Structure 1
Amino acid sequence: MSENGAKTPVDFWFDPLCPWAWMTSRWMLEVEKVRDIEVRWHVMSLAVLNEDKIDELPEEYAENIRPGGKAWGPVRVATAVKQLHGDEAVGKLYTALGTRIHNKDQGGTEESIAGALAEAGLPADLIAYAKKDTYDTELRASHKEGIDKVGQDVGTPVIAVPGADGKQLAFFGPVVTPAPKGEEAAKLWDGTLMVASIPGFYEIKRTRTQGPIFE
């Protein structure tokens, strides 16, 4: 908790299509229950991140991130929600959309987005932004803000939190499955902040032996 008694803000950048960001986001909601933090949701884009690498990517993935590809609809709608309805609405949309994309395996289709908008209590006509570049400038700015904090060689999610000196600590991940709950969620949060606060610390990693476990 900050010195004025307010909850500590935690900025979280996500692309709705990323299953690992989804896992981490569900963990952050658990952390909110056991630590005095408040998550602020921001959009980043795997399409923007990889648009300069299209020729190096598998064809199906490359097709999704090209202009008009499937990777653009969810982030465009989420950005429109951010601009028109604010942070809290983005969090509600992400929960509804991520549940459809990942837990229910419906993908980031327009049907999934429309259903998520309805569940989040947002206007149905926001679905039109899935095919519009109206807020692409804001989308790219949000993406750049997050990725600039950690560097170009990572993906989503990006988390930033105030450090002891008032400056933000930012890092990619953690990558974890399933999303820890209760005291396990708190332990991972405390440990992540501990290593992230060490000057010169960059990476800890081991081979993934299982895919995302959606609960």
Structure 2
Amino acid sequence: MSATAAGHETGHQPAAPGAAGEARTTADFWFDPLCPWAWMTSRWMLEVEKLRPVDVRWHVMSLAVLNENKLDTLPASYADFLRDAWGPVRVVIAAQQEHGDQVLGPLYTALGTRFHNQALPRTRETLVAALEEAGLPASLADYADSDAYDTELRASHKEGIDKVGQDVGTPVIAVPGPDGEEIAFFGPVVTPAPRGEQAARLWDGTLAVASVPGFYEIKRTRTAGPVFD
């Protein structure tokens, strides 16, 4: 989901084994649990983990933080969405801070499945159900209305957005580029999430464009909304 736009898997699949001695690749992925486009891209990355020697490392970013100084200039419906977006992402960052990075993938899947595939409301009941599915205490839902970890949320958000600039949104993905340095992009934005060999080819293409010094953008107008499996 840009700064101005509004199958249930486990949160982390074992990556496909590569050839003997083949180096593994880490893909850093920043998400807001309410963004449908980040959700589509994240499901693609879980598919890539099955097909390529790739490990996804999850990070939190926030559409509420990204747009907090723009609410007066945005459509009223999107501004209302952003005000509601604080709760879920605060719960996710609290879970990470109190239980470790390894809970991010499973909790994201539990939340995203409910928000996107099942279209459940962004209520405490939905948050608690997702937390329990991810093996986390229901009491973490209390953080939806707390700014206790907002410093950590803003730091995680800043880490991701600093890699791509303020004029984009979520998802942000960072992959190895030339000489091993990390190259980050907004996207890819896809619908529905590619599966099988199509998913693998898109990953190969992502690495290919990241390998080109000076590559910045490929884009076309979206003509379809998110298609959830």
Give the TM bin, normalised by the shorter chain.
over 0.9
- Cα drift, residue 129 of structure 1: 0.7
Whether 2:77 is the aligned partner of 1:60: answer: yes
Equivalents in 1 of 2:102, 2:32: separation in Å? Answer: 16
Deviation at 1:196, TM superposition (A): 2.5
CA contact (8 A) 1:158 1:170 kept: yes
RMSD: 1.6
Give the Cα–Cα distance (whole angstroms) in 2 for the partners of residues 205 and 111 of structure 1: 38
Partner residue, 1:19 = 36
The equivalent of 1:129 in structure 2 is 143
Equivalent residue for 2:128, pick from 114, 131, 136: 114
Q: How many residues align structurally?
A: 211
Q: CA deviation at 1:5?
A: 5.8
Counterpart AA for 1:34: L
Contact 1:73–1:110 under 8 Å retained in 2: no
Secondary structure in structure 2 of the residue aligned to 1:130:
helix
TM value normalised by structure 1? 0.93
Q: Please, which of 185, 192, 202 is the counterpart of residue 178 of structure 1?
A: 192
**Uncovered stretches (5+) of structure 2, i.e. residues with no partner:** 1-17
**Is 1:97 aligned to residue 111 of structure 2?**
yes
Distance 1:140 1:21 in 2: 18
Please, which of 89, 94, 116 is the counterpart of residue 80 of structure 1? 94
Q: Percent identity?
A: 72
Name 2:49's counterpart in structure 1. 32
TM score, norm. by length of structure 2:
0.88
What displacement does 1:108 show?
A: 2.6
From 164, 167, 170, the equivalent of 1:153 is 167
Alignment partners' CA distance in 2, 1:87 and 1:7: 19
CA distance in 2, matches of 1:160, 1:142: 14
Stretch of structure 1 that moved more, 198-207 or 15-24:
198-207
Distance (Å, rounded) in 1 between the aligned partners of 2:91 and 2:23:
30
Distance 2:28 2:123 in 1: 27
Separation in 2, partners of 1:81, 1:162: 28
Distance 2:74 2:182 in 1: 33
- Check whether the contact 2:61–2:157 (CA below 8 A) recurs between aligned residues: yes
Distance in 2 (alpha carbons) for counterparts of 1:5 and 1:214? 33
Residue 142 of structure 1 is matched in structure 2 by: 156
- Contact kept, 8 Å, 1:11 with 1:41, in 2: the verdict is yes
